[in-house]
Amino acid sequence: MNKTILRLAIPNILSNISVPLLGMVDTALMGRLESEIYLGAIALGSIIFNFIYWGFAFLRMGTTGMTAQAFGQGNQQESMLIFSRAMTVALGGGLLLLIMQSGIGWLGFSILEGDAEIKQLARQYFDIRIYAAPATLGLYAFHGWFLGMQNARYPLLLTLLVNLMNILFNLLFVFHFDMKANGVALGTVVAQYIGLVAAIGLFFYRYRAFIRYHIWTDILEIGALRRFFGVNADIFIRTICLVFTFGFFTSKSASIDALTLAANQVLLQYFHLMAYGVDGFAFAAESLAGKYLGARDLRSLRRAIRLLFVWGVGLGLLFALFYLIWGKDLLFIFTNQQHIIAQAQTYLWWMALIAVGGAVSFMWDGVYIGSTATRAMRNTMLIATLGVFLPAFYLSFPTLGNHGLWLAMTLFMLARGILLGMLASKSIFGQLQ
């Protein structure tokens, strides 16, 4: 079982780690310009895309869980139909976002707090990056389907390709063409379409035989569509809560001052690095939980979850230890501005706490997604957001300031892990009893 876990998890970890590395490069590029406003512009502009793309994250998560269960049942036809439904929604959603881009931009920047100059630069970033929407959502569907098919290598290849291209084009546009935040946005657009073309090539290379199952009457079958959208609606609500929490966090950071916004943006790179590392095992949990649930194999399901938690939470503890010992040294990678470094050091110890709480919640997320136990996942996220994060913020922020903001985020992560653990017996294992 450990070999199976590592076969899936290691490519996922390598793939996921490259995502925050891209964010680190963007942060480092903007952090070395003449003002912190460029770093703040990336932070604010990214909030809107977090809402958009994390809102569509069901295309990856829901597709993984349902495909993994079909794989466990040995049902190739259903696997292909799930992919076809996901890709139809992805491309349709991407085109809809392009049509609605003006309204989305106006609404987003009307709500967000921050200096006028930062918001102006962030709007330029948004107006360019939005054109990557069809490619980005299409890649979500491809990644989810490949993972559900127990194939972690293709998502690794695609993620490495996209992020390498993104970094190269960002460096080209920022340094060679003297662009700033808009150069980072343009680099993202080019890289996403390169990735989509590569994903199509990989699909036809290995899975072209599945095309015979692409039958529109079966794709549009009412019962299957109801399950597809039911699962994905729960994941959508869950993800919107998550995006709201991070968007609220960044917006309140901006309401303090530009320096705090920049410092928190740097520290969030620590969180993302840990999250994407642990998510390697969480993605393995999605694949294996779905497979064993589809195969009705309760014993293997329990064993897989137990071992996955040992690996995933253990990695979270290693990240926490690393941040406590070497966290200060890492700050100099992101920026050479001493006032941002000094500000970030004040709150650095929160990274160790949030690494542990986050690891537990991420692992349970993977199990619930693979098991398509999405209603319980949705409900626990609503409780963690509305019943824990927001009350903790409003009670602590007036006296603790930015420490109160980080306290609320840490409690939010802990609440998610505890609640999901409490409901696992009924929501996960109860499906096979």
Report residue 23's pLDDT band, with 50, 70 and 90 as the boundaries.
low
Instruction: Give dist(CA 270, CA 163) in Å, integer.
Output: 18
Question: 72-76, 262-266, 397-401, 429-433: lowest mean pLDDT where?
Answer: 429-433
Say whether pLDDT at 384 is over 90: yes
pLDDT in tens, 296-327: 888 899 999 999 999 999 999 999 999 988 88
Assigned token pair, 252 = 């309140």
Report residue 135's pLDDT band, with 50, 70 and 90 as the boundaries.
very high
Say whether pLDDT at 402 is over 70: yes
Say whether pLDDT at 83 is over 60: yes
Assigned token pair, 74 = 């040995």
So what's the pLDDT on residue 2?
74
So what's the pLDDT on residue 138?
93
So what's the pLDDT on residue 196?
95
Beta-carbon contacts of 220 under 8 Å, excluding residues fewer than 6 positions away, are: none
Instruction: Give dist(CA 429, CA 119) in Å, integer.
Output: 48
Burial of residue 71 (CB within 10 Å: 0-12, 13-18, 19+) is buried
Instruction: Give dist(CA 20, CA 15) in Å, integer.
Output: 10
pLDDT in tens, 146-173: 988 989 899 889 988 988 898 888 888 8
Say whether pLDDT at 22 is over 70: no
Contact (Cβ atoms closer than 8 angstroms) between residue 344 and residue 263: yes
Report residue 367's pLDDT band, with 50, 70 and 90 as the boundaries.
very high
Assigned token pair, 129 = 């990056």
- Annotated domain spans of the chain: 2-432
Mean pLDDT for 133-139 is: 91
> What three-state secondary structure class fits 73?
helix
Mean pLDDT for 125-139 is: 88
In order of 103, 322, 370, the CA distances from 281 in angstroms are 38, 19, 12
Q: Supply the angle between the helices 298-334 and 350-370 in degrees, to the nearest 10.
A: 150
Mean pLDDT over the full length of the chain: 85
Mean pLDDT for 332-355 is: 86
Say whether pLDDT at 37 is over 70: no
In order of 94, 133, 267, 334, 354, the CA distances from 53 in angstroms are 10, 8, 22, 24, 23
Instruction: Give dist(CA 338, CA 328) in Å, integer.
Output: 12
Instruction: Give dist(CA 200, CA 68) in Å, integer.
Output: 20
User: Tokens 């790179």 — which residue?
Assistant: 269
Helical ranges in 100-221 per DSSP H: 101-111, 116-129, 133-148, 153-171, 181-207, 216-219
Beta-carbon contacts of 226 under 8 Å, excluding residues fewer than 6 positions away, are: none
Say whether pLDDT at 48 is over 70: yes
Q: Which of 3-17, 141-155, 376-390 has the highest mean pLDDT?
A: 376-390
So what's the pLDDT on residue 404?
95
pTM, rounded to two decimals: 0.79
